[in-house]
Amino acid sequence: MKRFPGKFASGVAVAALLAGSAIAQSQVSREDMVSGGQQQGGPARVEMPASRPAPAPTPTPSPTTGSAFDQAFPRMVSEPVVQGGMEMPAPLVQPWTIANATKLVAVIEGIGAEGLDPKDYDLEPLKVALASGPSDELDALASQSFAWLVEDLRDGRTPMDAREQWFVEDPDRELFRTGDMLEQALTSGDIAGTLATLNPTHPDYARLREALAKTPESDAAKRKLIRANMDRWRWLARDLGTQYLITNVPEFQLRLTVKDKIISTYRTIVGKPGRTATPQLAEMVEGVVFNPTWTVPQSIVKGEGLGARALANPAWAKRNGYVATKGANGYVSVVQQPGPGNSLGMMKLEMPNPHAIFFHDTPSRHLFANDQRALSHGCVRTERALELAITMAILGKGATKDEAVAISTSRKYTKVMLEKQFPAYITYFTMASDINGEMATFKDIYNRDAPVLASLDKPRVRNRSNVIDDEVIVIEDDLQDG
């Protein structure tokens, strides 16, 4: 990604842009989290195109699985099927010298430093085979142990059924194929160094590793929590990119990050526990919607009588920004127009995904003063949202500074598509660096730690599935402000 533009290098600069604009802070009783219905507008940078339905979400593809590599040892599940013109991966069983196998034993014996367990990698059978000298058995055992290390260091040790509401497609299986990593290690003779290249590059992984080293064995609970959160970093891409948004749900904070340095932070409001809990995602911000409309879900239009009330009382509907339409078949639709009382506030980030989750503003900004902010129906409400929107529009080269300010204050629905899209990560860490850079623990608001911690007490799941099969819960409405 390109470097952060010097002319707009901090949130302070954005705040200055907004100093001259009067942005209404009125509060309403309803607040929505979805763009599930139709939105007015389109992809022009500063124009207002005709109404059209919101694009259908792109389905999440399922990873492919491999085939058997020989009769004795099944192919690793993490090894992708190679199709088309892609180069075939190196084989998963390759010859080992005594020197390389000895180095592998040393890596396994010290793997506890990475929060993993030496017992998971057939250490004792490997030592026995090593003591007998070069053999087909040594080649098979060493290759298998190495492949399991690659899988856990690259993809995470935690099985899929313990990753609650986790929907991140990790690209690392394609970038660091198991057989290729094995070939590289054996060719170079640097077994430890090759495996170390799989470690997440985000500074928090190294900080957690340091914390684990400093925590005595007697403090088993803390050590296990550190290990669980180290593994969560492996569930994500090894390298998150140069510029990205990342929010840690239990911390109630969003960061705009450049080269792993925090540029701006924003307090957030996230989903309430239960079916409205915010899922873990890795998506792309494609655009910024200024002054959004809100197509009211039928659960409110029909279920709560909003449609009938709006049709019966046009003056009330107009005061609240609602436009109600009744079709020939009796179907009633209600769209809330842009304005300070709109349930999405003054902006939302266009981030298409099957869950209808995105970052947006709120007219109930007083809620950011709460310490516990798990109040929404899944989406992430963002403090100083208009500042964030203008920043994203400028960094993404969708609009100039002057255009972004003019659009934001126009009170007209405008979608600014970004020339340069931004990765956005919605994560769940219960131990991580806080916004001050200090290692901290956060309340497990969704009780997602329990299955991860329990998996650490069980033997490593071999030949585990990489298919994400958790339930996709599409957000419908967001009514309770607390």
Burial of 401 (0-12, 13-18, 19+ CB in 10 A): middle
Percentage of the chain modeled with pLDDT above 70: 80
What pLDDT is recorded for position 62?
40
Least confident of 61-75, 87-101, 385-399: 61-75
pTM: 0.80
Q: Where residue 245 falls among pLDDT bands split at 50, 70, 90?
A: very high
Give the domains, in start order, of the chain with CATH numbers.
11-60+241-427 (2.40.440.10)
What would the mean pLDDT of 373-398 be, rounded to a whole number? 94
What pLDDT is recorded for position 453?
98
What would the mean pLDDT of 400-427 be, rounded to a whole number? 94
Catalytic residue flag (residue 379): yes
What would the mean pLDDT of 176-189 be, rounded to a whole number? 97
pLDDT digits 0-9 by tens, 430-446? 999 999 999 999 999 99
What pLDDT is recorded for position 48?
40
Question: Which of the residues 202, 355, 377, 379 is marked catalytic?
Answer: 379
Q: At residue 374, does pLDDT exceed 90?
A: yes
- DSSP annotation string for 9-71: -SHHHHHHHHTT--------S-------S-EE--S-SS----EEPPPPPPPPPPPP----SSS
Question: Which of the residues 355, 360, 366, 377 is marked catalytic?
Answer: 360
Q: Where residue 44 falls among pLDDT bands split at 50, 70, 90?
A: very low
**Residue 93 · residue 139 · CB < 8 Å:** yes
Phi then psi for residue 347, to 5 deg, are -165, 160
Angle between helices 449-456 and 220-235 (to 10 degrees): 110
Mean pLDDT of the chain, nearest integer: 83
Q: Name the residue among 435, 399, 391 with its Cα closest to residue 4.
A: 391
